[in-house]
Structure 1
């Protein structure tokens, strides 16, 4: 019972607890087996990824229970509870008074249960900085999906909160799941150990056929329409390069062991929603040339185009060979991970997170989550502007896509950069005219 009490104190703790962190995995497993170390979590953001992350948590060895949910839309929140309850009746305890909706619902969900341990944040990226900041302030462990923000001020806000989370000894997991897959970890480690020599060039791709689009309904305010259709608005998603291509950019920076110092790029949206700017404002293709401090390059392609070459992958070229970080190396030190032992990242990242909590251990992925997000933002701003953009300048002076976001409601106007003009068209960045600093 004393050990069980210590485990609960660890999960609730908002400061470092050295004695609890030293708990052996044998004690943790025994406590779990007795069913007395329940990990209670709240879900903020009840779409497909939020429900998916919850399902992944339920499949871990932890004694986990969902106790509160929040979403901008009540139906989405209540539907999530219904869906998750049907599949996991013993893992969900969310009565009607712990189903919250609205832009401030995340606060209610985080505060709903006094002994809440963990918060899952799976909302549109534009909203994440304020939600992450609040969860840290409340001393909760956090898993947050990528990307963690949509603009430079949001990244800075997340980095400040990450610093606070470290002071409080909080777990922070970020949904860049390739970093948890055995095939990636093994291959990247071999690259770091010199298997391909000096890395001199990388190629990363997220070329796909497209993404969902949700038509406007008559009862929606402009803010409700954009929030429900969040992928298609820069302030909410950060564009395709942030929302999806971040995975490949993150792998490239992981392989290199550093982040780029500048980027130039190009892109456009000629075919997005048939070229109809009354429906969305994001690009349908980007191409970036990232430069690292030593002058080496990472070339990036991101695209949504039907009936074209689709490819999602990463490649590293070195002085002694070439690597596919997902599991193979060719050259002087060939390697093939093979089929056996490969892991599905969305599940593995939750296995790792819950197992660490059960052992009384902490890891914090917040910094690389924020920096990989900013790598994508750097590329987007280079493509939008058509200019060479420096990392340091953009981090310091990059434009705020959602000023005053803490005060937004479902009835507010979206930020000026996303408001439709008199012709109903949304502002679309024009290279050569777009200013990333104003």
Structure 2
């Protein structure tokens, strides 16, 4: 780390390979062992002592997995898992909506045949059905639900002793990040695999380039620019038969308590790369943004911003500048760039300056590669745990969002301690509950106004 005084905003930043090589707990959790463990998280975190079921043997034994959240990434992750060389079987699914479960099973069944073995009584729905899916006889849980629902689902999967792959971001607010970090600590005690869907960390082009940067190829990193600028996303109009909670859950990208805004849901990838390159997390951020074009730009359909710009500051005073945007007809770009005292870098595979170099290896599909890595590690009886950097990169995005919403300088430690709870009581929500955000008397959802919005509860 650049500065030993940086505390809560720092964490070891390591590749999956390094995580395996440096782990002191390479015990054969898939080699004919059974374990009993209680949790150390306490009732306040919603966990109670539970027995971890008998693990399965490595080698040819089946890795049974379940999918929580059957949308695009849930189906995609399941497809990627069944494309690996592992002996894997999908045994249960959950989604808030039955139709999404059946659509996923139909598509995956056509592609993978008997690797999909989900009986009728292991199709679970509703907002609390994830518990029943995780309670089935399984080894691995894939969590790909709207981010606002992930902290409690991850927590429950850890309590049940399951290995976990969870899509990014892992939460949408400070309380959710704290909850995930606490569960990550418990997962380490139980020697559980935790993979997070920040797939660039599994792509050889990024891994080799970042390793060269860390070895000094561009000297000290003094500034970075990271971008996720695109044209826009989907929107699903409310139907007459939907409750407001059903509408928001089905249209989750447009509500902060569910998605965390574009900076969390998509731009997190680039922010994660920037922090990986730097080997640290920022201590503060200031930013700006707005809602000018998002679904009419008046809050009647959506409450998230359509553009953000952030200046992140690290403990040593160096900067990372961030652009996140959904604007049709504007400049689109997704990528990262770094400047050092001895050269420059595109972390996806190129270094400029005296140590000029370009990646010439095989480019891979990161979504697929992260599942190759995860399943192969499980079959070898090895683990890595990406939960901590998944939570910290998520919080980097939340820090930027709150700086843009407020127009103020927001410090990491202050926000992590005092940031808003966007969905109080979320564990008790059903599809008939009133969401934490509803339209006002003017028919519009609340949209943060910089200069008036406070980032603190």
Aligned counterpart, 2:49:
none
User: Once the two structures are superposed, what CA deviation does each residue of 1:41-70 show, in whole Å capped at 9, x if it has no partner?
Assistant: 000000010000000000111000000000
Aligned counterpart, 2:8:
none
The gaps in structure 1 that reach 5 residues or longer are 16-26
Secondary structure of residue in 1 paired with 2:400 = helix
Shift of 1:14: 6.2
Determine whether 1:420 maps to 2:439: yes
Native 8 Å contact 1:178 1:247 kept in 2: yes
**Aligned equivalent of 1:385, options 402, 406, 409:** 406
Secondary structure of residue in 1 paired with 2:113 = coil
- Whole-angstrom distance in 2 between the partners of 1:78 and 1:423: 38
Shift of 1:112: 2.3
Secondary structure of residue in 2 paired with 1:205 = strand
Shift of 1:392: 0.2
Determine whether 1:149 maps to 2:171: yes
Which moved further from structure 2: 369-378 or 89-98? 89-98
Secondary structure of residue in 2 paired with 1:278 = coil
**Aligned equivalent of 1:376, options 392, 397, 418:** 397
- After superposing on structure 2, the runs of 4+ consecutive aligned residues of structure 1 that deviate more than 2 Å are 5-10, 12-15
Aligned counterpart, 2:386:
365
Aligned counterpart, 1:182:
204
Q: 1:139 to 1:6 in 2, by over 3 A?
A: closer
User: Once the two structures are superposed, what CA deviation does each residue of 1:305-332 show, in whole Å capped at 9, x if it has no partner?
Assistant: 1111100000000011110000000101
TM-score by structure 2 length?
A: 0.88
**Aligned equivalent of 1:109, options 102, 117, 133:** 133
User: Once the two structures are superposed, what CA deviation does each residue of 1:133-180 show, in whole Å capped at 9, x if it has no partner?
Assistant: 000000000000000000000000000000000000000000000000
- Whole-angstrom distance in 2 between the partners of 1:150 and 1:275: 22
Determine whether 1:321 maps to 2:321: no
Secondary structure of residue in 1 paired with 2:115 = coil
- Whole-angstrom distance in 2 between the partners of 1:181 and 1:119: 23
Paired residues, what number? Answer: 412
- Whole-angstrom distance in 1 between the partners of 2:411 and 2:323: 19
1:93-132 residue pairs with structure 2 within 5 A?
93-113=117-137, 116-132=138-154
Choose between structure 1 and 2: higher helix proportion.
Answer: 1
Native 8 Å contact 2:217 2:343 kept in 1: yes
Alpha carbon RMSD of aligned pairs, Å? 1.4
The gaps in structure 2 that reach 5 residues or longer are 1-27, 38-56
Secondary structure of residue in 2 paired with 1:241 = helix
Secondary structure of residue in 1 paired with 2:66 = strand
User: Once the two structures are superposed, what CA deviation does each residue of 1:263-291 show, in whole Å capped at 9, x if it has no partner?
Assistant: 00000010001214111000000000000
Secondary structure of residue in 1 paired with 2:276 = helix
- Whole-angstrom distance in 2 between the partners of 1:136 and 1:425: 38
**Aligned equivalent of 1:291, options 313, 327, 334:** 313
Secondary structure of residue in 2 paired with 1:90 = helix
- Whole-angstrom distance in 2 between the partners of 1:329 and 1:47: 37
Shift of 1:6: 7.9
- Whole-angstrom distance in 2 between the partners of 1:437 and 1:330: 42
User: Once the two structures are superposed, what CA deviation does each residue of 1:394-430 show, in whole Å capped at 9, x if it has no partner?
Assistant: 0011010000000000000001xx2110121000000
Q: 1:6 to 1:141 in 2, by over 3 A?
A: closer
- Whole-angstrom distance in 2 between the partners of 1:391 and 1:273: 31
Q: 1:333 to 1:119 in 2, by over 3 A?
A: same
- Whole-angstrom distance in 1 between the partners of 2:445 and 2:261: 14
Q: 1:344 to 1:378 in 2, by over 3 A?
A: same
Aligned counterpart, 2:185:
163
- Whole-angstrom distance in 2 between the partners of 1:402 and 1:361: 36
1:4-403 residue pairs with structure 2 within 5 A?
7=30, 9=32, 13=35, 28=58, 31-32=59-60, 37-113=61-137, 116-338=138-360, 340-403=361-424
Secondary structure of residue in 1 paired with 2:180 = helix
